[in-house]
Structure 1
Amino acid sequence: MKKTVMTLMLALSATLAFADGDMKAMHKGVMAEATSGARAELSTEGNMLMVYLTSHHGEAIATKGVVAELTLLNGTEKQAVKLAPSGDNSFMAQGQFKAQAGTKALLKVTLPGKPAEQFRFTLK
């Protein structure tokens, strides 16, 4: 009986952990998670870069007072982009960016009173 209960508990906890770890892009972008559990989605539609911040559980993280910078890496080319808050939990930058399939991106986000967090992306 103890083995059955223990097996059931392990199976249930594994299922919950898997469901909680699912990162679905809500804005046709790519997802990344920082070591703190905060998540970011990077969307590269048109001549605009958008970043959306959420908690590990999907709650919006406010971007007011937050500093964010995105670095795009294409081989030896490097482009630093300052992002401006744009909405409750998003950042935006407009212009000409070399953001294509295979581009690697490093996002640095500093929330007020907290240490900087980093997110790593590879564009598809």
Structure 2
Amino acid sequence: MKTQALLASIALALAGSAFAAGEHNHAHEHKPLHGGLVVEVKDMDYELVAKPTVIQLHLRDHGKPTDVAKASAKLTLLSGAEKQEVELKPAGDKLEATGTFKVGPGTKVVALVTIAGKPAGTVRFALK
């Protein structure tokens, strides 16, 4: 009887810890809101929308849009043996660049994102 009570107590403690950890780590959803690919880094969601003529980066902090007026990003696009550097600038509520980009399936994107008042961060994407 004591063994069952002990096992039940351990299971309850572990379940509570897992629930609390899950709630803390996923207080917001990481779904794409603009049809792109979402990556989370340090509670920031970075949504990359990559098209052959435009690249956009949407930023959300704990699920809320981030002010990008004083932000920028430098992207490195790696498609096979080809490498392309792209600078994104504020465009309304997102960072954006227009031009001609090789962004097909398998393209890897490394973004160095600078937001005013915060250290620069690196975000990695793999396009599908």
TM-score under structure 1 length normalisation: 0.83
Which of these residues, 18, 37, 42, is aligned with residue 30 of structure 1? 37
Q: Which amino acid aligns with 1:31?
A: V
SS of match in other structure, 2:32: coil
**Structure 1 position 91 matched with structure 2 position 98:** no
Q: Which runs of 4+ in 1 moved over 6 A?
A: none
Deviation at 1:8, TM superposition (A): 5.0
Q: Distance in 2 between matches of 1:19 and 1:67?
A: 26
Deviations 1:99-122 (A, max 9, x none): 011000011111123211011000
- Which residue is 1:67 aligned to? 72
- Which residue is 1:120 aligned to? 124
Deviation at 1:22, TM superposition (A): 4.4
Q: Which has the higher strand share?
A: 2
SS of match in other structure, 2:33: coil
Q: Tell me how large the CA RMSD over aligned residues is.
A: 2.3
Identical aligned residues as a percent = 35
TM-score under structure 2 length normalisation: 0.81
Unmatched 5+ stretches in structure 1:
none
Q: Distance in 2 between matches of 1:21 and 1:64?
A: 23
For CA contacts below 8 A with separation 6 or more, give which structure has more relative contact order.
1
Deviations 1:31-84 (A, max 9, x none): 1122x22120001245111110011x2111110111211110012211000111
